[in-house]
């Protein structure tokens, strides 16, 4: 299976805001030397607590941020080397669905105009073709044709997210970045939207970068999962394997706190001490060691490398030599 998108040694460091009296306050290492790939027709899930670098990773993939270091390749081409035509093609090929369907749709535009906007921006199309494509997309996401002439306030949260998905699909992208696409919705609606996304993937051959706090949703949606902590990947591998048998202490804690997939399922509860440290001054060695129940002296001194452990990659001294 060929990789549609590859990230190699990707980093994004932001200069810290200057204090009242100026001076250099260092950099925030939002994303720090991570590598991953997304295959055609597959979903990569990215999980971790707030501040772990998930959204910055999404912005790098969408071209909304420029990497400090490392490279992103799409269909084998390095984004940094693309000319204006290449970048326009990339922006068309990679679309996004964001967290809040109440904020991402303009309240003053009819649904037909919202869905058609990327189509009109990126392609030379007639008004008749635009109308036909809008109605096709509404049908694709399970909304009636009369929706085209209504405004966003006339729809529920789940329906608005369906509209946002239709807009993202308007230009037939290859990759859709899903940044917390169901976290603002009622629990009863979440499964409907996730199942819609899976159906669309099967029908259209889409690839997804799926970013979420909800581990149950990530495990349900993803083929592979990457777990991030303070800008670093601490575990990565097959979604089912990683969800059922997490190896890194941080991954174990995340999954122990998630809702079980079956009422009879029993899990050992792992309680993490303290808060996530500041990315401005991450701990030396393993960044997780101040909160880790298995921390050893070497964890504070040397950062563990990602190594192969039972069919997945893990960065933890528990498994190193």
Q: What CATH number should be reported for the domain holding residue 279? A: 3.40.50.300
pLDDT at residue 315, rounded to an integer:
96
Is residue 320 domain-resident?
A: no
pLDDT single digits (tens) 236-269: 999 999 988 999 999 999 888 765 544 444 445 5
Is residue 23 domain-resident?
A: yes
Among 110, 210, 208, 90, CA closest to 167:
110
Does pLDDT of 275 surpass 80?
no
pLDDT at residue 184, rounded to an integer:
79
Q: Tell me the pairing of strands 312-314 and 3-15.
A: unpaired
235 vs 121, higher pLDDT: 235
pLDDT at residue 273, rounded to an integer:
66
pLDDT at residue 258, rounded to an integer:
64
Structural domain that includes position 198: 3-314
81 within 8 A of 166, measured Cβ to Cβ = no
What is this structure's pTM?
0.91
By the 10 Å C-beta count (0-12 exposed, 13-18 middle, 19+ buried), 146 is classed as exposed
pLDDT single digits (tens) 155-213: 998 999 999 999 999 999 999 999 998 887 888 899 999 999 999 999 999 999 999 88
Is residue 218 domain-resident?
A: yes
Is residue 319 domain-resident?
A: no
Residue 276 confidence class, pLDDT cut points 50, 70, 90: confident
Among 166, 164, 214, CA closest to 45:
214
Using alpha carbons, list the distances in angstroms from residue 128 to 124, 173, 174. 12, 21, 25
Does pLDDT of 44 surpass 70?
yes
pLDDT single digits (tens) 132-159: 999 999 999 999 999 999 999 999 989 9
Is residue 48 domain-resident?
A: yes
Domain count, the chain: 1
89 within 8 A of 174, measured Cβ to Cβ = no
Average pLDDT over residues 261-280: 62
What average pLDDT is seen over the chain? 88
Among the ranges given (102-111, 137-146, 301-310), the one the predictor scored with the smallest mean pLDDT: 102-111
pLDDT at residue 104, rounded to an integer:
80
Among 200, 211, 255, 205, CA closest to 62:
211
Structure-token pair, residue 109: 């535009």
71 alpha carbon, distance to own chain's centre: 18
Using alpha carbons, list the distances in angstroms from residue 118 to 91, 214, 276, 287. 10, 29, 38, 41
Is residue 204 domain-resident?
A: yes
**Residue 59 backbone dihedrals phi, psi, to 5 degrees:** -65, -35
pLDDT at residue 230, rounded to an integer:
93
Among 181, 279, 194, CA closest to 228:
279
Average pLDDT over residues 311-320: 92
Using alpha carbons, list the distances in angstroms from residue 279 to 202, 254, 275. 38, 19, 12
Does pLDDT of 40 surpass 90?
yes
Does pLDDT of 6 surpass 60?
yes
17 vs 115, higher pLDDT: 115
pLDDT at residue 263, rounded to an integer:
44
Structure-token pair, residue 153: 């306030």
160 within 8 A of 102, measured Cβ to Cβ = yes
Is residue 169 domain-resident?
A: yes
Is residue 62 domain-resident?
A: yes
Rg value, the chain, Cα: 21
Does pLDDT of 302 surpass 70?
yes
């Amino acid at each position: 299976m060929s990789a549609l998108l590859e990230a190699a040694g990707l980093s994004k460091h932001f200069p810290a805001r200057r204090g009242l009296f100026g001076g250099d306050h260092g950099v925030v290492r939002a994303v720090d030397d991570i590598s991953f790939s997304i295959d055609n027709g597959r979903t990569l899930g990215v999980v971790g607590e707030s501040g772990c670098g998930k959204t910055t990773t999404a912005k790098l993939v969408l071209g909304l941020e420029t990497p400090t270091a490392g490279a992103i390749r799409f269909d084998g081409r390095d984004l940094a080397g693309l000319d204006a035509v290449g970048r326009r093609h990339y922006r068309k090929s990679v679309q996004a669905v964001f967290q809040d369907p109440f904020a991402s749709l303009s309240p003053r535009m009819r649904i037909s105009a919202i869905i058609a906007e990327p189509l009109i921006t990126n392609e030379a199309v007639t008004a008749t073709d635009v109308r036909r494509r809008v109605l096709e997309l509404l049908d694709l996401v399970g909304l009636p044709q009369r929706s085209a002439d209504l405004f966003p306030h006339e729809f529920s949260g789940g329906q608005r997210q369906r509209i946002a998905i239709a807009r993202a699909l308007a230009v037939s992208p290859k990759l859709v970045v899903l940044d917390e696409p169901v976290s603002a919705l009622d629990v009863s609606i979440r499964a409907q939207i996730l199942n819609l996304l899976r159906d669309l993937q099967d029908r259209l051959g889409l690839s997804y970068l799926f970013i979420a706090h909800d581990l149950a949703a990530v495990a349900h949606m993803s083929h592979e999962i990457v777990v991030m902590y303070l800008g670093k990947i601490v575990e990565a591998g097959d979604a089912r394997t990683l969800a059922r048998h997490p190896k890194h202490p941080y991954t174990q804690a995340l999954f122990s706190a998630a809702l079980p997939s079956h009422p009879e399922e029993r899990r050992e509860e792992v309680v993490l001490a303290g808060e996530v440290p500041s990315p401005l001054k991450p701990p030396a060695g393993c960044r997780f060691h101040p909160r880790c129940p298995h921390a050893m002296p070497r964890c504070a001194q040397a950062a563990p490398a990602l190594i192969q452990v039972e069919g997945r990659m893990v960065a933890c001294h528990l498994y190193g030599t």
